């Protein structure tokens, strides 16, 4: 059995624990299960994309991509249609630019194919290796702040403000109160080194949400899905994906707009995935000499998942930053990813239960994982402003710009500019010059 686990998932009995890997996979799933509810909601703005079909395609894309990550890359990362990328698909390509969802799906397919080519030719790895160690360390910390910020938002602890953009919510009631209580419980479990403490924290917080009401709705924060008769609904068969399966539109593939859309999908996905992989590895202390082992295989899993997701009828499938929750819970091998994939498969039939877990219950896990990812800042040379200024911009822009990719892009540009101003041209590699110019053009023209 151990030999099989080693060959299939990179599992080593002396270093890894089966129970820990499974708990880590479940933890990852619970922190990213929101996509099963959010994706159909976003795509509901488009005619011809039924919510049930989108739900099924979302789950299937996550299952396929995560299984490839488990068996091929043997890494504890999960994949699913990406947040931000789905919004770009619906609100920019379709509703703003006026193209059909079939056009957008075709762009996602082309992006995935290009990704595969770039991965085979190792161009993606070449780009990663060109990023200086200082920025790689900053990426880890930046993603930590970013996912913690997402958690605080999901719980309503941080809310929108017309005057200051964001502000502290009402933490004495509703979802914010549940999130605060859950954070204290989860933090206590982690500090006491309780095995599976993050997952236990999610479950306890969800249960607390059953008895605490949201003042805005007058209903409990944790809402159990019910059928028409009012009984709690536990099971449901998945809807067919036939209305959106392989619905591509080929007559616009040589247009300028298609080029722009494909490039934007490609750009965001590549640097979000790159940032996630580096950041999670940095946060878990799995990076040796700024190198991430098995990068090409992880990129290939991401590329294949994108192509499959496009065929199934959903937006770009990408590696999820919430994988950090599973890694934080001890996940280190492909067995963690397999566990997450199994959870997504179960979710196809038990979606009423999984969708009952509120954002307030997963928020504490994201905040704790954010804390776990911060130690990489200790290795940044803060007294060297040529390095520390780009690093700081990378870290701060991820949460405030709500984008991993923008943090990386601005960080690269700032690194080249600061070193050029200081006359330290020898520390700027040719790939960094090329990327900086391309990134500047990206902000000018896209």
- Structure-block tokens of residue 5: 């686990």
38: Cα within 13 Å, side-chain hemisphere: 17
* pLDDT tens profile 238-272: 889 999 999 999 988 888 788 878 877 887 787 77
User: Do 339 and 32 contact (CB within 8 A), yes or no?
Assistant: no
| Whether residue 289 is found in the same domain as residue 386 | no
pLDDT band at 192 (very low <50, low <70, confident <90, very high): very high
| Whether residue 317 is found in the same domain as residue 393 | no
pLDDT band at 175 (very low <50, low <70, confident <90, very high): very high
Look-up: residue for tokens 């609100």? 91
| Whether residue 367 is found in the same domain as residue 407 | no
Instruction: Classify residue 91 by burial, with Cβ atoms within 10 Å: 0-12, 13-18, 19+.
Output: middle
Percent of the chain topping pLDDT 90: 39
Instruction: Classify residue 7 by burial, with Cβ atoms within 10 Å: 0-12, 13-18, 19+.
Output: exposed
| Whether residue 367 is found in the same domain as residue 230 | yes
| Whether residue 154 is found in the same domain as residue 71 | yes
Domains of the chain: total: 2
User: Do 376 and 414 contact (CB within 8 A), yes or no?
Assistant: no
- Domain range for residue 390? 377-445
Look-up: residue for tokens 């294949």? 304
Alpha helices in 88-229 (DSSP H): 101-120, 123-130, 133-154, 174-191, 197-208
Of the candidates 423, 409, 419, 428, the residue with the CA atom closest to the CA atom of residue 388 = 419
Weakest mean pLDDT among 140-144, 343-347, 421-425: 140-144
| Whether residue 334 is found in the same domain as residue 217 | yes
User: Do 325 and 17 contact (CB within 8 A), yes or no?
Assistant: no
| Whether residue 354 is found in the same domain as residue 427 | no
Cα separation, 413 vs 246, in Å, equals: 38
- Structure-block tokens of residue 283: 């946060």
| Whether residue 226 is found in the same domain as residue 338 | yes
Cα separation, 135 vs 131, in Å, equals: 7
pLDDT of residue 401 exceeding 60, the answer is yes
Q: Please tell me the pTM assigned to this model.
A: 0.77
Of the candidates 316, 302, 355, 360, the residue with the CA atom closest to the CA atom of residue 55 = 355
| Whether residue 138 is found in the same domain as residue 286 | yes
User: Do 392 and 73 contact (CB within 8 A), yes or no?
Assistant: no
- Looking at 353, 373, 393, the residue that finishes a domain is 373
- Structure-block tokens of residue 303: 């590329």
- Looking at 373, 390, 419, the residue that finishes a domain is 373
- Looking at 349, 373, 397, the residue that finishes a domain is 373
| Whether residue 181 is found in the same domain as residue 278 | yes
* pLDDT tens profile 73-130: 898 999 999 876 887 788 878 887 788 999 999 999 999 999 899 888 877 777 767 8
Weakest mean pLDDT among 96-105, 231-240, 383-392, 426-435: 231-240
- State the DSSP string of 385-423: HHHHHHHHHHHHHHHHTT-HHHHHHHHHHHHHHHHHHTT
Cα separation, 68 vs 52, in Å, equals: 25
| Whether residue 309 is found in the same domain as residue 384 | no
| Whether residue 123 is found in the same domain as residue 214 | yes
Cα separation, 276 vs 143, in Å, equals: 7
């Amino acid at each position: 059995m151990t030999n099989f686990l080693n060959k299939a998932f990179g599992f080593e009995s002396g270093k890894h624990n089966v129970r820990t890997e499974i708990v880590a996979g479940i933890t990852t799933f619970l922190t990213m299960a929101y996509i099963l509810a959010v994706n159909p909601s976003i795509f509901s703005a488009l005619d011809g994309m039924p919510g049930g079909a989108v739900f099924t395609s979302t789950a299937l894309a996550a299952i396929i991509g995560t299984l490839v990550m488990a068996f091929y890359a043997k890494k504890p990362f999960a994949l699913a249609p990406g947040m931000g990328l789905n919004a770009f698909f619906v609100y920019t390509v379709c509703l703003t630019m006026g193209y059909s969802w079939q056009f957008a799906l075709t762009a996602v397919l082309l992006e995935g194919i290009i990704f595969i080519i770039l991965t085979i030719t190792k161009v993606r790895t070449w780009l990663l290796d060109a990023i200086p160690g200082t920025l790689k360390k900053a990426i880890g910390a930046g993603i930590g702040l970013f996912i913690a910020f997402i958690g605080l938002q999901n719980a309503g602890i941080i809310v929108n403000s017309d005057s200051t953009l964001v502000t502290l919510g009402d933490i004495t009631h509703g979802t914010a109160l549940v999130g605060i209580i859950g954070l204290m419980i989860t933090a206590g479990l982690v500090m006491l080194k309780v095995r599976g403490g993050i997952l236990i924290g999610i479950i306890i917080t969800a249960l607390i949400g059953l008895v605490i009401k949201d003042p805005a709705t007058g209903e409990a924060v944790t809402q159990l899905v019910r059928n028409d008769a009012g009984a709690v609904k536990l099971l449901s068969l998945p809807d067919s994906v036939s209305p959106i399966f392989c619905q591509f539109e080929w007559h616009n593939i040589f247009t300028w707009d298609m080029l722009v859309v494909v490039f934007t999908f490609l750009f965001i996905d590549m640097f979000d995935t790159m940032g996630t992989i580096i950041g999670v590895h940095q946060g878990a202390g799995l990076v040796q000499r700024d190198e991430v082992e098995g990068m090409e295989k992880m990129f290939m899993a991401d590329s294949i998942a994108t192509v499959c997701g496009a065929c199934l009828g959903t937006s770009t499938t990408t590696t999820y930053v919430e994988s950090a929750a599973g890694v934080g819970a001890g996940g280190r091998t492909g067995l963690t990813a397999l566990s997450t994939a199994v959870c997504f498969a179960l979710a196809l039939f038990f979606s009423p239960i999984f969708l009952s877990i509120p954002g307030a219950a997963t928020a504490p896990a994201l905040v704790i994982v954010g804390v776990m990812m911060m130690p990489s800042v200790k290795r940044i040379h803060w007294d060297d402003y040529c390095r520390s200024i780009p690093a700081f911009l990378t870290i701060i822009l991820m949460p405030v710009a709500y984008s991993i990719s923008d943090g990386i892009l601005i960080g690269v540009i700032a690194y080249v500019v600061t070193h050029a101003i200081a006359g330290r041209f020898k520390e700027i590699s040719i790939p960094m010059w090329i990327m900086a110019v391309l990134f500047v053009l990206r902000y000018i023209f896209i």
